[in-house]
Each structure stands twice: as C-alpha cells, then as structure tokens.
Amino acid sequence: MPSTTSSPGSEAPAAAPPTPRTSTTPGIPVQDSPMVDRSDLDAGDGPSSHRGGEQARRAELCRRIEHRFADDTLLELALRHRSWCSEHGGVESNERLEFLGDSVLGLVVTEHLFAGSPTSSEGVLARRRSELVSANALAGVARSIGLGDVLRLGKGEEATGGRTKTSILADAMEGVIGAVYLDGGLQAARSVVLGLLDERIDGVVSGDVTSDHKSRLQEMAARRFGELPRYEISEDGPEHEKVFRAVVRLAGDRWGAGEGRTKKEAEQAAARETTRLLSQRHDEPAARADGHDADRGEGPPDA
C-alpha cells in the first residue's frame, strides 16, 4: 500500500484509497492484500542483482509457456507459496489461483479430449483426463519449464527441498494457469495448457506412456543442465514426400537426431535418441513405464 510522508510543520495530504487490481476476465476482480506495501513484495528480500536475476528467470518462464503477462502481479502472485507468505505478514498466497487454475485446466483438457476422441466412451475420456491433470503430470510439466526455480518459498520449505516437491510444483502449475486465465482469458489459458501438454496428450491418447520422448527429455535436461533442449529442423524432398530431420542441441553439444514425415515425428525421434544417449552415459534405462528416469549425473555424450 503506497505511503505518504510530510515535512515538519506541514499537513500531510489525505492518502487516496487503494485502487483494486482487476483482471481481464469480467466478474473476477483480483485485489492486492492490504497487509503489506506492494513495493516491499516486488522488491524481494535480496540485493538488486538478485532481484534482476529473479526478473530474468520470470521472463524466461513466460517465454517457455509462450504467454506475456499484461499484469505482471498475477504471475508474482502465482509464484507465492503459503510458506513464504506466512513469513511476510500473511499476504495472499497462490492458493486461490491454484483453485481457479485447477478448474480451467480441467475444462481445457476435457474439451480437447472430447473434441479429439469422438468415439471414446465417458470412462475412457475420464481416465485420460485424470492422467493428464494428475499431480505427477503437472509436476513433470513444471520441471520441464523450470517453474521450481522461480517459486517464492519460506525458509523451512526451501531447506527441505520444496522446489522439487511434486505437490508444490503441481499446485504452482495450476496457479500459473489460473494467472494466465485472469490475464488473458480462456483462449490464452487454452493456448498455454495445450502447448505444454501437447506431447503428453498424444502419448495418453495413443496409450503409449513412453511415447512422449520430448517431455521426458525436457525433464531430464532441466534437472541435469538447467536448460531446455533446442531442435534444429531441416527438410528434404518434394512437397508431397517431405522428410523432416531434427537434431537436438543441448548444453552446447549436438545430441540425438531423428527423421519423420512431420516436424513433430522428427523431434520425437531425435528426443528418443537423445534420452537413449543420456541413459547410456549414466547407465540408466532409456524409458520406464512411470515416465521417470534415475538422475545419476551429467555430461555430454562422447564426441
């Protein structure tokens, strides 16, 4: 809350009432907590260099989810865990946004499955939706975009590895979805959700839990190298018989390559080869039924 000061002997002007912060979604106002000065919240606890790094990480998060916030305070709110809020005067946490994001996520996924699987029964659709919106699935998405790195956690939660906890990551992911919905409406939220879940949806619909090699590679790369893989695409052949070739670039090195009739197929093939190379390097299985790998180290493949 803005504060006013006056010099000795002068009368301080009356403080103007705070202006509520509203979302772009009609009927859903979002107000700042009156309990603390917003400038204190936005400044954070560290020096200016730390704050600059935090802003850069948030900008990178926005790039990865492909949404630019018109109201940056919505993203800031989505990243506040209740443990941090309890240490800062009990300000609002991301739990309300999490509640909203859970419903938005469910709607978008349900709508997409319903439209894309016209012959599937209600039971099949329900099982697919449950898998896509599960805590494990959301935490996997969160890890792939580096969400844990930008969360605001209390000291105790930080000390116990809160940035990697499945429950915290899943809840924060829902909070971000809720923030996107308030910032840009349903279409913006739909674009973000389907963009993040695209490969996972393909795997769930096909019934192949290990087919989403791109998402698995993203998670492995984020943990081991702190960055996401890039795909270099080339194409060859006539228009009606094009062959796409993808090469994975990660941590400054060339990793796996793959070909396909579409860019998506080529990227999946390249991601599959890269996860195999990573697994061989660290003596791990290339794929497991639960979609996770045992992280045992890091390093580029032998050139």
Residue 129, C-beta contacts closer than 8 angstroms, at least 6 positions apart:
106, 109, 110, 113
**Kind of pairing, strands 230-236 and 243-250?**
antiparallel
> How far is residue 298's CA from residue 278's CA, in Å, rounded to a whole number?
8
> Which token pair is 82?
């209740």
Specify burial of residue 270 (Cβ count, 10 A radius: 0-12, 13-18, 19+). Answer: buried
Per the annotation, the verdict on 76 as an active-site residue is no
Give one word for 26, left, alpha or beta, with left for phi > 0 and alpha for psi -120 to 50.
Answer: beta
As beta bridge partners, residue 234 has 245
Per the annotation, the verdict on 102 as an active-site residue is yes
| Sign for the pseudo-dihedral over CA of 226, 137, 134, 129 | positive
> How far is residue 272's CA from residue 199's CA, in Å, rounded to a whole number?
13
Q: Among the options 76, 98, 171, 174, which is catalytic?
A: 174
CA 177 vs CA 98, 120, 125: distances in Å: 8, 27, 22
Q: Among the options 32, 102, 199, 212, which is catalytic?
A: 102
Decide: 234 and 245 in contact? Cβ < 8 Å: yes
Decide: 229 and 218 in contact? Cβ < 8 Å: yes
Residues with catalytic function: 102, 174
